[in-house]
Amino acid sequence: MRHPMEDNTASYKGTAKNPYFLSTKNESFRRTLRFCEKAAASNVNILLTGESGTGKEVLARYIHNCSSRREGNFIAVNCSAFSDSLLESELFGHEQGAFTGATGTKKGKFEYSEGGTFFLDEVGDMSQTTQLKLLRVLETKTMERIGSNDPIEIDFRLISATHQDLKDMVQHGLFREDFLYRISTVVIQVPSLRQRKEDLEDLTDFFLRKSEAENHIQIHTIEPSVKEFLLNYDYFGNIRELKNIIDRMVVLSENGVITRDGLPVLYSFGKNAPEDAPAGPRSADFDEIIPFQEFKHRSEKEYLEWVLKQTGGNVAEASRRLQLSTRQLFSKIKMLEIKK
């Protein structure tokens, strides 16, 4: 039986070394993969940049699997998931009694990456104090657990990732310039899903099949208007958003049929909605063409000012609702010169 998203294209295929969305029909993404393969053959530090949800960790794993370190561990740490003190303990480990609550010795993630690859996600959220400590590790290839003066030699390759403009953060005093140079011997820009729309049909088919299996629901029909939406929406949350939309579609389907009536939330997204769908936000009026970075700066500042007003200036609540770490939000407030 033909799958509801199938047309005349082959279904998406992948391997452990080259998973599903690293197969591509898009020339820009092909170049990205070639850069990854070239960089993998070396031992230099790599910085992956691009919007959230583009699959930077998958690319980091791809580099690891293409490298001579493939038999070693791939260790990933998300910097935005930890406070400064917890992040350092996670990275370097600690000795018993090093601080309150340190009831035993703990190996750091760096030690586990010996002979392999260490992936630092959202490196822009790392404090400058921790950046300085990591800079020393990268220069000496040794580290010390918290509470110890005994150096431990480690051999690893560092891959970092961020959705932030680290050069801009350096200019605003939010990121160390020497650390940026150390982690970015090779910089690879990961294209957004909007820039590789040739892959949308195959990706949608892949996630649909995956969601069917995970949720034990068989889909046999997708209404044409829904299929049109899926292939034309801009996915500002990238691959992560596509997967979430597909999961929602499958779970809310009725008798194996996906209809727009079951997913009204999809059609509040504006210009990509079918003609008879409820209208989304209206396009803004512009007076002049300005550099994109300037527009981004103005828009982000205006939106964050509005969010802070809605939360009564409560940064913790604003960061929770924005799904940003408090450190991220404070950094943006400082960078954009927002008055709370």
pLDDT tens for each residue of 193-249: 999 999 999 999 999 999 999 999 999 999 998 998 889 888 888 998 899 889 988
In this prediction, residue 262 carries a pLDDT of 61
pLDDT tens for each residue of 2-17: 455 554 333 333 343 4
Q: What are the phi and psi torsion angles at 121 (to 5°)?
A: -90, 150
In this prediction, residue 152 carries a pLDDT of 93
**Nearest of 39, 36, 44 to residue 17 by alpha carbon:** 36
Choose between 80 and 178: higher pLDDT: 178
Q: Three-state DSSP class for 156?
A: strand
Are 175 and 166 in contact by the 8 Å Cβ rule? The answer is yes
pLDDT (average), residues 86-104 = 82
- Does residue 182 carry a pLDDT above 80? yes
Band the pLDDT of 327: cuts 50, 70, 90.
confident
CB-side neighbour CA atoms (13 Å) of 131: 21
- Find tokens 């996915």 and name the residue: 235
pLDDT (average), residues 81-97 = 86
- Does residue 280 carry a pLDDT above 60? no
Helix ranges, the chain (H): 27-40, 56-66, 84-92, 109-112, 128-140, 166-171, 177-183, 200-215, 224-232, 238-251, 292-310, 315-322, 326-335
